A = this chain, B = another copy of it.
Amino acid sequence: MKSTKIMKKKKPSRPMGRPRAFDADRALDRALHIFWRKGYEGATLSDLTKAMGINRPSLYAAFGDKETLFRKALDRYSEGPASYPFEALKEAIARTAIEKLLRRAAEVQTNPSTPGCLTVHGALACGDTSTAIRKELILRRERGEAAIFQRLKRAQSEGDLPPRSNPNDLARYFTTVIHGMAVQAASGASRSELERVIQTALRVWPK
List residues of chain B with CB within 8 A of the CB of A197: 169, 172-173, 176
Contact A176 B169 (CB under 8 A): no
* Inter-subunit contact B126/A38 (CB<8 Å): yes
| Pair B176/A38 contact, Cβ less than 8 Å | no
Q: Which of B125, B169, B177, B180 contacts A42 (CB 8 A)?
A: B125
Residues on B with C-beta less than 8 A from A125 are 38-42, 121-122, 124-126
Residue ID in chain B nearest A118 by CB atoms: B125
Interface residues of A in 139-163 (CB under 8 A from B): 141-142
Q: A44-B127, A124-B124, A173-B197 are in contact. Are A183 and B186 (CB under 8 A)?
A: no
**CB-based nearest B residue for A142:** B187
| Chain A interface residue number, banded | 35 or more
Closest to A41 in B: B126
| A169 B196 Cβ-Cβ under 8 A | yes
Question: Which B residue's beta carbon lies closest to that of A168?
Answer: B196
Stretch at the interface among A7-15, A91-99, A198-206: A198-206
- Contact (A127, B42) CB under 8 Å given A138-B187, A196-B169, A200-B170: yes
Between A and B, 29 residue pairs with Cβ closer than 8 Å are A38-B126, A39-B126, A41-B125, A41-B127, A42-B128, A43-B127, A116-B124, A120-B124, A121-B124, A123-B186, A124-B186, A125-B125, A126-B126, A138-B187, A142-B187, A169-B200, A172-B200, A173-B200, A175-B184, A176-B183, A176-B184, A176-B201, A177-B180, A178-B180, A179-B180, A180-B180, A180-B181, A201-B201, A203-B203
| A177-B180, A183-B183 given; 18 more Cβ-contact pairs under 8 Å | A38-B125, A41-B126, A42-B126, A43-B127, A123-B183, A123-B186, A125-B125, A172-B200, A173-B196, A173-B200, A175-B184, A176-B177, A176-B183, A176-B197, A177-B177, A200-B204, A203-B203, A203-B204
